Structure 1
Protein backbone atom coordinates (compact mmCIF):
# COMPACT_ATOMS: atom_id res chain seq x y z
CA UNK A 1 0.00 0.00 0.00
CA UNK A 2 1.66 3.17 -1.16
CA UNK A 3 0.50 6.58 -0.17
CA UNK A 4 1.51 10.05 -1.00
CA UNK A 5 1.49 12.41 1.94
CA UNK A 6 2.28 16.03 1.79
CA UNK A 7 2.59 18.37 4.72
CA UNK A 8 3.53 18.35 8.37
CA UNK A 9 1.13 15.42 9.25
CA UNK A 10 3.66 12.76 8.19
CA UNK A 11 6.16 12.52 11.01
CA UNK A 12 8.37 9.47 11.52
CA UNK A 13 6.27 8.55 14.58
CA UNK A 14 3.11 8.70 12.47
CA UNK A 15 4.68 6.51 9.79
CA UNK A 16 5.75 3.98 12.44
CA UNK A 17 2.27 3.97 13.93
CA UNK A 18 0.71 3.54 10.49
CA UNK A 19 2.94 0.56 9.66
CA UNK A 20 2.14 -1.07 13.02
CA UNK A 21 -1.58 -0.47 12.59
CA UNK A 22 -1.59 -2.10 9.16
CA UNK A 23 0.45 -5.09 10.38
CA UNK A 24 -1.82 -5.54 13.40
CA UNK A 25 -4.73 -6.21 11.06
CA UNK A 26 -3.02 -9.20 9.45
CA UNK A 27 -4.46 -12.36 11.00
CA UNK A 28 -1.93 -14.78 12.41
CA UNK A 29 -2.58 -18.49 12.67
CA UNK A 30 -4.02 -19.45 16.03
CA UNK A 31 -2.19 -22.22 17.83
CA UNK A 32 -4.89 -22.59 20.46
CA UNK A 33 -7.20 -24.78 18.40
CA UNK A 34 -4.99 -27.00 16.26
CA UNK A 35 -7.06 -29.52 14.34
CA UNK A 36 -6.39 -31.39 11.18
CA UNK A 37 -8.09 -30.29 7.98
CA UNK A 38 -10.19 -33.48 8.05
CA UNK A 39 -11.47 -32.61 11.52
CA UNK A 40 -12.06 -29.00 10.52
CA UNK A 41 -14.20 -29.97 7.54
CA UNK A 42 -15.94 -32.90 9.23
CA UNK A 43 -19.68 -32.64 8.85
CA UNK A 44 -21.51 -32.41 12.15
CA UNK A 45 -24.89 -34.12 11.98
CA UNK A 46 -27.88 -31.90 12.54
CA UNK A 47 -30.32 -32.46 15.40
CA UNK A 48 -32.82 -33.96 12.95
CA UNK A 49 -30.24 -36.44 11.65
CA UNK A 50 -29.34 -37.41 15.21
CA UNK A 51 -33.00 -37.98 16.06
CA UNK A 52 -33.43 -40.01 12.87
CA UNK A 53 -30.44 -42.21 13.76
CA UNK A 54 -31.81 -42.75 17.28
CA UNK A 55 -35.21 -43.63 15.82
CA UNK A 56 -33.72 -46.13 13.37
CA UNK A 57 -31.62 -47.73 16.12
CA UNK A 58 -34.63 -48.02 18.43
CA UNK A 59 -36.77 -49.34 15.56
CA UNK A 60 -34.18 -52.06 14.84
CA UNK A 61 -34.12 -53.03 18.53
CA UNK A 62 -37.91 -53.28 18.62
CA UNK A 63 -38.00 -55.37 15.44
CA UNK A 64 -35.57 -57.82 17.04
CA UNK A 65 -37.76 -57.99 20.17
CA UNK A 66 -40.84 -58.64 18.01
CA UNK A 67 -39.08 -61.50 16.22
CA UNK A 68 -38.02 -63.01 19.56
CA UNK A 69 -41.57 -62.72 20.92
CA UNK A 70 -43.03 -64.33 17.80
CA UNK A 71 -40.60 -67.25 18.17
CA UNK A 72 -41.54 -67.56 21.84
CA UNK A 73 -45.23 -67.46 20.94
CA UNK A 74 -44.74 -70.23 18.38
CA UNK A 75 -42.86 -72.35 20.93
CA UNK A 76 -45.62 -71.81 23.51
CA UNK A 77 -48.26 -72.89 20.98
CA UNK A 78 -46.27 -76.03 20.26
CA UNK A 79 -45.99 -76.70 24.00
CA UNK A 80 -49.73 -76.20 24.38
CA UNK A 81 -50.42 -78.60 21.50
CA UNK A 82 -48.17 -81.21 23.08
CA UNK A 83 -49.95 -80.75 26.42
CA UNK A 84 -53.34 -81.21 24.73
CA UNK A 85 -52.20 -84.39 22.97
CA UNK A 86 -50.88 -85.83 26.22
CA UNK A 87 -54.13 -84.94 28.02
CA UNK A 88 -56.18 -86.67 25.28
CA UNK A 89 -53.94 -89.73 25.40
CA UNK A 90 -54.34 -89.95 29.18
CA UNK A 91 -58.13 -89.61 28.87
CA UNK A 92 -58.22 -92.38 26.26
CA UNK A 93 -55.99 -94.53 28.44
CA UNK A 94 -58.34 -94.18 31.41
CA UNK A 95 -61.39 -95.08 29.33
Structure 2
Protein backbone atom coordinates (compact mmCIF):
# COMPACT_ATOMS: atom_id res chain seq x y z
CA UNK A 1 0.00 0.00 0.00
CA UNK A 2 1.30 3.47 -0.85
CA UNK A 3 1.18 6.43 1.42
CA UNK A 4 -0.27 9.82 0.45
CA UNK A 5 3.26 11.27 0.73
CA UNK A 6 4.54 8.75 -1.81
CA UNK A 7 1.69 9.53 -4.20
CA UNK A 8 2.44 13.25 -3.86
CA UNK A 9 6.18 12.64 -4.37
CA UNK A 10 5.49 10.44 -7.41
CA UNK A 11 3.18 13.07 -8.95
CA UNK A 12 5.82 15.81 -8.48
CA UNK A 13 8.52 13.56 -9.92
CA UNK A 14 6.52 12.91 -13.08
CA UNK A 15 5.41 16.53 -13.45
CA UNK A 16 8.95 17.85 -12.89
CA UNK A 17 10.05 15.93 -16.00
CA UNK A 18 7.42 17.56 -18.21
CA UNK A 19 8.62 20.73 -19.86
CA UNK A 20 6.15 23.57 -19.72
CA UNK A 21 6.01 26.46 -22.15
CA UNK A 22 8.91 28.83 -21.78
CA UNK A 23 7.92 32.39 -21.01
CA UNK A 24 10.89 33.89 -22.88
CA UNK A 25 10.56 31.95 -26.14
CA UNK A 26 7.33 32.39 -28.07
CA UNK A 27 8.53 30.87 -31.37
CA UNK A 28 6.70 27.81 -32.68
CA UNK A 29 8.37 24.50 -32.00
CA UNK A 30 8.83 23.93 -35.76
CA UNK A 31 11.53 26.62 -35.73
CA UNK A 32 13.53 24.57 -33.23
CA UNK A 33 13.19 21.23 -34.98
CA UNK A 34 15.93 20.16 -37.34
CA UNK A 35 14.29 18.99 -40.54
CA UNK A 36 16.10 16.01 -42.01
CA UNK A 37 15.49 15.73 -45.76
CA UNK A 38 14.26 12.41 -47.06
CA UNK A 39 16.36 10.33 -49.41
CA UNK A 40 14.06 11.35 -52.26
CA UNK A 41 14.54 15.04 -51.42
CA UNK A 42 18.32 14.61 -51.35
CA UNK A 43 18.22 12.89 -54.76
CA UNK A 44 15.96 15.66 -56.13
CA UNK A 45 18.31 18.39 -54.86
CA UNK A 46 21.31 16.57 -56.34
CA UNK A 47 19.48 16.20 -59.66
CA UNK A 48 18.60 19.90 -59.72
CA UNK A 49 22.20 20.88 -58.93
CA UNK A 50 23.59 18.64 -61.68
CA UNK A 51 20.92 19.82 -64.11
CA UNK A 52 21.84 23.43 -63.41
CA UNK A 53 25.54 22.67 -63.95
CA UNK A 54 24.77 20.91 -67.25
CA UNK A 55 22.60 23.81 -68.41
CA UNK A 56 25.50 26.19 -67.76
CA UNK A 57 27.88 23.90 -69.69
CA UNK A 58 25.45 23.68 -72.61
CA UNK A 59 25.11 27.46 -72.64
CA UNK A 60 28.90 27.84 -72.68
CA UNK A 61 29.26 25.28 -75.47
CA UNK A 62 26.60 27.06 -77.53
CA UNK A 63 28.53 30.32 -77.15
CA UNK A 64 31.74 28.59 -78.21
CA UNK A 65 29.93 27.01 -81.18
CA UNK A 66 28.63 30.42 -82.25
CA UNK A 67 32.12 31.93 -81.94
CA UNK A 68 33.57 29.08 -84.02
CA UNK A 69 30.94 29.64 -86.71
CA UNK A 70 31.78 33.35 -86.75
CA UNK A 71 35.49 32.50 -87.07
CA UNK A 72 34.66 30.09 -89.90
CA UNK A 73 32.56 32.75 -91.68
CA UNK A 74 35.41 35.26 -91.39
CA UNK A 75 37.88 32.73 -92.81
CA UNK A 76 35.51 31.94 -95.72
CA UNK A 77 35.26 35.65 -96.50
CA UNK A 78 39.05 35.97 -96.44
CA UNK A 79 39.39 32.95 -98.75
CA UNK A 80 36.82 34.43 -101.13
CA UNK A 81 38.64 37.76 -101.09
CA UNK A 82 41.93 36.02 -101.87
CA UNK A 83 40.33 34.03 -104.71
CA UNK A 84 38.83 37.18 -106.18
CA UNK A 85 42.20 38.83 -105.96
CA UNK A 86 43.88 35.91 -107.72
CA UNK A 87 41.27 35.78 -110.43
CA UNK A 88 41.83 39.49 -111.09
CA UNK A 89 45.50 38.85 -111.67
CA UNK A 90 46.99 39.85 -108.34
CA UNK A 91 46.54 40.11 -104.58
CA UNK A 92 44.06 42.54 -103.42
TM bucket normalised to smaller: 0.5 to 0.7
> Structure 2 unaligned runs (5+)?
none
TM-score by length of 2: 0.66
1:64 paired residue number: 59
Aligned length: 86
TM-score by length of 1: 0.65
Structure with greater contact order relative to length (CA < 8 Å, sep ≥ 6): 2
Give the aligned CA root-mean-square deviation in angstroms: 3.3
> Structure 1 unaligned runs (5+)?
1-6
1:18 paired residue number: 10
Q: SS in structure 1 opposite 2:18?
A: coil
Q: After TM superposition, what 4+ stretches of structure 1 lie above 6 angstroms from structure 2?
A: none
- Report the CA distance shift for 1:52/1:83 in structure 2 as closer, same or farther (over 3 A): same
Larger Rg over CA atoms? 1
